[in-house]
């Protein structure tokens, strides 16, 4: 098994207050990626509808955008996710960083699972958070210092695919529970009116 630094490149999110917004007629509507969207990409069932922040920007802006299958890290809570098709093209704000890994050596779904769940990753992230700062945000430099122990690529693929299927199963179970609650509420209380 190889032990390597995994980041080839990274792009920090944009400071939203530094972006020059324009009116609806002059600009393109851009949705701002946020924690609810990240939770959706992580596979959590969101029972309430979400209204993301939107900004109107000129086409030639210098904002950071994320696209399907890119890896994003929330620098505040140290969660990692693969961007879904649903959120492709979203504007990435400052608390998030898009990272590039060598996809020939590291299977993306394995990497996300490793980052969020492995004792090796969590130990490194916890060490970073023990500094003197009151805000326990991780930095891009700390991300670059992290090391990953890599099993063979076919094993990474197996682990990553199992993790994705497990995530999907959890989502469906959460959705089923919510729908069952709604169904029972409707059927049990229908006779009382």
Choice among 90-99, 159-168, 178-187 with the minimum mean pLDDT: 178-187
Q: What are the structural domains of the chain?
A: 2-188 (3.90.220.20)
Position 4 scores a pLDDT of: 62
Whose tokens are 């989502």? That residue is 171
- 149: tokens are 């122990």
- DSSP string for residues in 29-95: EEEBP-HHHHHHHHT----S-----EEEE-TT----EE-TT-EEEETTTTEEEEPPGGGTTEEPBTT
Position 2 scores a pLDDT of: 59
Mean pLDDT across 4-10 = 82
Whose tokens are 């179970």? That residue is 173
Exposed e or buried b for every residue in 151-170, given b needs 16+ CB within 10 A? Answer: eeeeebeebbeebbeebeee
Give the model confidence (pLDDT) of 124-164 as tens digits.
Answer: 988 887 766 655 688 888 888 898 999 999 999 999 999 99
Position 3 scores a pLDDT of: 61
Choice among 56-60, 87-91, 98-102, 168-172 with the minimum mean pLDDT: 56-60
Position 135 scores a pLDDT of: 59
DSSP reduced 3-state for 32: strand
């Amino acid at each position: 098994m190889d032990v390597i630094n995994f980041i080839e490149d990274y792009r920090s999110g944009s400071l939203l207050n530094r972006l020059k917004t324009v009116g609806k007629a002059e600009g393109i509507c851009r949705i701002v990626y946020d924690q609810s969207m990240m939770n959706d990409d992580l596979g959590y069932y969101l029972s309430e509808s979400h209204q993301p922040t939107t900004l109107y920007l000129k086409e030639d802006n210098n904002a950071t955008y994320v696209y399907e299958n890119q890896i994003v890290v929330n620098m505040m809570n140290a969660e990692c996710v693969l961007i879904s098709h649903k959120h492709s093209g979203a504007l990435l704000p400052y608390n998030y960083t898009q990272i590039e890994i060598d996809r020939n050596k590291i299977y993306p779904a394995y990497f996300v699972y490793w980052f969020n769940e492995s004792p090796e990753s969590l130990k490194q992230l916890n060490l970073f958070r023990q500094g003197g700062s009151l805000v326990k945000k991780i930095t891009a430099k700390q991300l670059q210092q992290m090391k990953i122990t890599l099993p063979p690529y076919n094993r990474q693929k197996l682990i990553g695919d199992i993790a994705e299927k497990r995530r999907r199963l959890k989502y469906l179970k959460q959705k089923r529970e919510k729908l069952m609650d709604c169904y029972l509420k409707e059927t049990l209380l229908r006779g009382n009116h």
